[in-house]
Structure 1
Amino acid sequence: MAGLGIKRFFINKGSSFWKIRFSIIFIWLFSFWGVMTSCSDKKNKEEVSVDKKQYLQEKNDVGIVILERQSFDKELLSNGKLTANQKNVLKFKVDGNLKKLLVKNGDVIRKGQPLAYLDDFEYQQELNSSEISFKKARLEFEDMLVGRGYDLQNKENIPENIYEMASIRSGYSEAENQLENAKFDVNSTVLRAPFSGKVADIKFKEFEQVNAGEEFMSLIDDSVFDVEFNLIESEVNQIKKGEDVEIQPFNTGKGYFGKIISINPIVKENGMVDIKARVQNDGPLMEGMNVKVIIQKNVPNQFVVPKDAVLIRDNQEILFKYQKGKAYWTYIQTIYENSTSYAIIADPNKNSAHLREGDSIIVSGNLNLAHDSEVTVKSTFEPSLAKETQTK
């Protein structure tokens, strides 16, 4: 009996154990299912939210300008280089040691001002000897004429052949020529400015040997510059001598205005034609400076838009027109260009492309627009916007 009781006890105990174990497993499975269901619902909600965002149309703020016909300032552009209207390389005409240098690079000097001296001792000695020889020859010359009975006070009465013969035999002509040469050599030891300007490219220092004909320094008249540039042959017939040009140095961007002074009537092998214009310098322009050259040509009766209005889509030029809260693109072609604007026409190869006076052209906020995008006009520019932009 006792053994039977113990057996029943373990049977009852084992039954309770398995009931508890199954209960725990059921509760764990139910909790796991609940968590997975919750995550799945959340994921589905997020996906639906993302899809809605993808298909939600954005409102784009844009600026517009009313299209009208106006004059367009077409620009012919080129690059050029400044050269001084007057520039000379200065040289001594005699040899010698540089005794004194009176200027430095960049100095502004006036015409006739001495710039440098050579040691002139030997040339002064030669001059003194020439003066003595000349005086001796002149006495001999006068004695010959007096000996022939001619009055030296009335030289006009002396026959020309007699005068010439006496001057040669007495050595008077040769002495006179040597004296002039000696004076020239002495004067040549002083280098003087042939015109007013600025000193540049000094190549010697004091006490160095300078040879005759050797480049010593340059002198530049920088009050006026010539700018040399090129245009392609198809553009040359659009300009003429005396026409205005604008010159902009690359380092400053400031504009200077000049006039075309020459058009070379020869087309080079590369199809370019040499043009030269002249401009006054108020100080900053320098010899050899690289500049941008702009020639403006007025073309009347054009549709003009700012450059920001024109976009490239599918390798074609387009712009967006505004109509009743939406943006519609239309294909166009740019026919003229300047630094800020385009003159445009509707693309003749597209039947759907149209431009009319009074069209509202989107000029800002258009970079990310698509055809039929909803837009909101935040600013409306005056019809003369493009024209005003050209002149800024």
Structure 2
Amino acid sequence: MDDYSRNTLMQYINPKPKDIEICDVTLRDGEQTPGVVFTREEKIAIAEKLDSIGIEVIEAGFPVVSKTEEDIVREIAHLGLDARVCCLARSVAKDIDVALRCDVDFVSVFIATSDLHLKYKYHKTFEEAESCALDVLDYAKDHGLTVRFAAEDATRTDVNVLKSIFRAAEEHGADYVSIADTVGILNPSTAHYLVSEIKNTVKTKVCIHCHNDLGMAVANTVSGAEAGAFQLHTTVNGIGERCGNASLEELLVSLRVQYGIERYDVSQLSELSKMVEQYSGIPIPRIKPIVGCNAFAHESGIHVAAVLENPMTYELYAPEMVGCKREIIIGKHTGSKALKGVVQKMGYDLSRDQMCTLLDRVKKCSEAKRKVTCERLTEFIRELE
């Protein structure tokens, strides 16, 4: 990592996230994106790529959904990956039985804890829901499972109530407690506060699972990590219900650039992103950070001229770091110096008058909303000769 990429303000942040692991939930929460279904082959390919990047935990699915889903989760659990494999379970004993048949490394047992969910989804009191969840937690532990105890809609739950159920989960042997920001209501300040409060309440490892309804899922996850969250949840391309989850590629590169956490092979992110784009049918926005096609594209004349001399002037990190390539766009905002650099790289040596004529043609073409491709630029140059 080039020193220019380091955020010099990071030296004033204390503590920095250090002791963390990533749990990618693309195969479960990502597949809950409306209209998205991954085939067996697609799920295996995604799991293997996540593993090769170095992701520590892969949530392979929700096996009680169907026999096919159960079979796929079991197959992923038996792939021999370095990553640990987990699955989701409701606070229902039969879900634990299915998880046991899948032979996963651990299970994530969830229960909604907010008054809103208790009243309108469960039609139960908090005490009834808690009793049910703890019974299932006991059942899972009695059968030798590692358990992540997740509070759904935790961020709209009274903090003291959340502390109480996490303390109870710890007493019943939970290996992790998980804060689920189910509707994406957190901001970085509240994420930091909430994780800090839970960290001060239990000794169990804390997880944070953020949704992106306000566009802050990655920022909230990073803030939670700074406060001491151990397990950080992500999906590839940020897919997921409604507005999606914290984006894996954005989180990994943020951890690398801002905190020097370099144990993940981010050079494979572009390939993984394109894979999930194809399998999910959800196009990657052009301006998507890290993997969008505009992430390393430059058109503005002043910018291009500087980038041709030193890319770090307008790039936080090299595109090759994440498996991408730089693109110089010729268009309305292109200046003479930038255009000359592009033309020379194409192998042409034009006079000053020819360059002026070419620049004029490029701007007119662009203003007519016609893309100036390399082929079109070559055509313009040949017409000057």
Higher CA-based Rg: 1
Comparing both chains, which one has the higher relative contact order based on Cα–Cα distances under 8 Å and sequence gaps of 6 or more? 1
Greater share of residues in helix = 2
Greater share of residues in strand = 1
TM-score range, shorter chain: under 0.3
TM-score in terms of structure 1 length: 0.21
TM-score in terms of structure 2 length: 0.21
